[in-house]
Structure 1
Amino acid sequence: MGKLAFVFAGQGAQAVGMGKELAENFPIADKTFDEASEALGFDIKDMIWNGDSETLMITENTQPTIVTMSVAALRVLQEKGIKPDVVAGLSLGEYTAHIASGSMEFADGVRLVKKRGKYMQEEVPVGKGAMAAIIALSAEDVIACCEEASKVGICSPANFNCPGQIVVSGEVAAVDKCCELAKEKGAKRALKLPVSAPFHCAMLIGAGEKLAKELENVEVKDMQIPVITNVTADYVSSKEDIKPLLIKQVSSSVKWEETIRRMIADGVDTFVEVGPGKALSGFIKKVSRDVKVFNVEDMASLEKTLEGLNA
């Protein structure tokens, strides 16, 4: 019998109206949005369901709204009796993974990611940092391009998403240089991303330090479900490691492809992407064609997932 993994989306998956269908059909999902509103001190339902995409794109809004919607979908699956053997999340999604594992309370997590978004946004003035996706180039070549571009300014790999898709992050001139070098090395594309800050690079160390102070007020408990962290692509060994890893994660590369490979090596043959969007499902399929991949973001995807898991 193979193992089941839940994986949770990161920033960029947000969409106006996300989670509304689940909330209309499941009281537990609706209650999740109310709990988040109470924890944050504003009406998160109104922001997500009646707001606009520009408001949702502001990092300190994006992060708590995605975590809330993901937890709403998670609770529906839990209510259906579905429990994963292991969990992980891409960047922001790692907080949802900890909530799923029982190591962090939902109210604490949602407040924390709002602050995390604020600190990440404030750390680098708009226009100073950039990110770019390098398509169809090996990890070794992308790392080499970053090293060369670092002569111009900060530039490093931010996300190892899947084979042939690596995101780089840093100062604008250095990221531009990296894109130029990547194309020379044969990258199919080097696309600048529409982001408001250069995530997962050394420019965000200060944001991690501010986050550390917030984490002092949060109680973490033992994980009931194993969590694999972005920083090492390995299991978080104890609750004492949770906070240091979350602090480090802000300015470290996200080793997502390695995380998926680790899960597969440990017997995971079925993945469920819980929360908005299907980006992670796409990454997983590029890592392996031999695993089953489902997602849960609305009624249709929920029904398809439940059918697939019970087959």
Structure 2
Amino acid sequence: MAYAIIFPGQGAQEVGMGKELFDEFKEAREVLELADEALSFRLSRLIFDGPEAELQKTEFTQPAIMAVSMASFKVLSSLAPGELSPLFVAGHSLGEYTALVAAQALSLEEGLRLVRLRGQLMQEAVPVGEGAMAAIIGLEESVIVEICKAASKGGKVCEVANYNSGQQLVISGHATAVAEAMEAAKKAGAKRAVPLKVSAPFHCSLMRPVADTLSRAFEACSWRRPVWPLVANATATPVTDIGEIQNVLRRQTYSPVLWKNSIQFMANSGASAFIEAAPGNVLSGLLKGCVSGVESYNLKDLKNLEKTLDFIKGGL
């Protein structure tokens, strides 16, 4: 059975994530040890012991999720040596960087440093309290797009940031404009309009300066052609060319994450199952709102790791 491997983004974090795998497998411990060394501080201690308020800071959240995701991926690889053969890899927002590390386009060390820089730049791009994001649930895409346009006035920004599923879109921009859009969405019949606990308005035009700085950081990295195609957030199409990869990463910073379209593309191209590399199972939960008739697996703990391993070995 053909499958894709997907990697989560910000929002999947929690104190203690990945601890079962860390305690059980040396491959997971090696990833966390390398992360500590690459970033010159004890990221592993923050992941396992907190405090939660520190882990929630974007500059720490992003490398922490990458480290735990890669730890789970390395464990799976070690238990199925030479047997992983996904049709595609993809990642939600920062997960796109993790997907590229898994596909060997970037080293783990460079990936960790990039996403920490990305987190720092995103946090600094908009003063704390001036930006916001919100999930709009149960309202048509076209209606949400028009609501965002109406809220974007007087120099304020409100844009769709994530097309997560047929039932969930995320909006992003100035806090006042996002609040106005939330109220309008409720009046238009949205089931829910939920503010997100984020420290900056990601994936909107307010992030354009971040993209320019990241582009310069990309030039300092040693890139390789990925061993599996990456389905890009910005286009929902596969990329393998290094120059094109850097371009879609740059665009991803200030463009919406086309997650629903990405899942649909992979499913329509033959992927009948999706494996979510830990932490959590947020992306697995979104699958049913994107496509029907696909299987989902995750690596969030030992029980689910075993199920995923059985699937991979059974499909050979």
Same-fold call, TM > 0.5? yes
Amino acid corresponding to residue 105 of structure 1 in structure 2: S
Cα contact 1:16–1:48 (8 A) shared by 2: yes
Which of the residues 110, 119, 134 maps onto 1:132?
134
The count of aligned residue pairs is: 310
Question: What residue number does 1:293 align with?
Answer: 296
1:45-60 aligned within 5 A: 45-60=44-59
Amino acid corresponding to residue 131 of structure 2 in structure 1: G
Cα distance between partner residues in 2 of 1:180 and 1:16: 33
Question: What residue number does 1:265 align with?
Answer: 268
Question: What residue number does 1:77 align with?
Answer: 76
* Alignment partner of 1:107 is 2:109: yes
For 1:75, what is the secondary structure of its paired residue?
helix
For 2:164, what is the secondary structure of its paired residue?
strand
Q: Deviations over 1:133-178 (max 9, x none)?
A: 1110111111111111112510100000011100000011111121
For 1:250, what is the secondary structure of its paired residue?
helix
Cα distance between partner residues in 1 of 2:305 and 2:28: 13
Which of the residues 183, 189, 194 maps onto 2:192?
189
1:1-311 aligned within 5 A: 2-81=1-80, 82-83=83-84, 84-152=86-154, 153-311=156-314
For 1:264, what is the secondary structure of its paired residue?
helix
Q: Deviations over 1:261-301 (max 9, x none)?
A: 00000000010100111110011122223001010022121
Cα distance between partner residues in 1 of 2:233 and 2:259: 6
Amino acid corresponding to residue 153 of structure 2 in structure 1: K
Q: Deviations over 1:74-118 (max 9, x none)?
A: 111111224122100000000011011111111100011001000
Cα distance between partner residues in 1 of 2:74 and 2:94: 18
Cα distance between partner residues in 2 of 1:206 and 1:246: 14
Runs of 4+ in structure 1 off by over 3 angstroms are 308-311
Cα distance between partner residues in 2 of 1:91 and 1:41: 24
Amino acid corresponding to residue 39 of structure 2 in structure 1: L
For 1:13, what is the secondary structure of its paired residue?
coil
| Structure 2 unaligned blocks of 5 or more | none
Q: Percent identity?
A: 42
Shift of 1:256: 0.2
Root-mean-square deviation (Å): 1.2
Cα distance between partner residues in 2 of 1:27 and 1:278: 23
TM-score normalised to structure 1 length: 0.97
Cα distance between partner residues in 2 of 1:111 and 1:26: 24
Cα contact 2:225–2:240 (8 A) shared by 1: no
Cα contact 1:98–1:223 (8 A) shared by 2: yes
Cα contact 1:285–1:293 (8 A) shared by 2: no
For 1:162, what is the secondary structure of its paired residue?
coil
Shift of 1:237: 4.2
For 2:288, what is the secondary structure of its paired residue?
helix
Cα contact 2:157–2:173 (8 A) shared by 1: yes
Cα contact 2:35–2:67 (8 A) shared by 1: yes
For 1:268, what is the secondary structure of its paired residue?
coil
TM-score normalised to structure 2 length: 0.95
Q: Deviations over 1:46-75 (max 9, x none)?
A: 111122211100000000010000000011
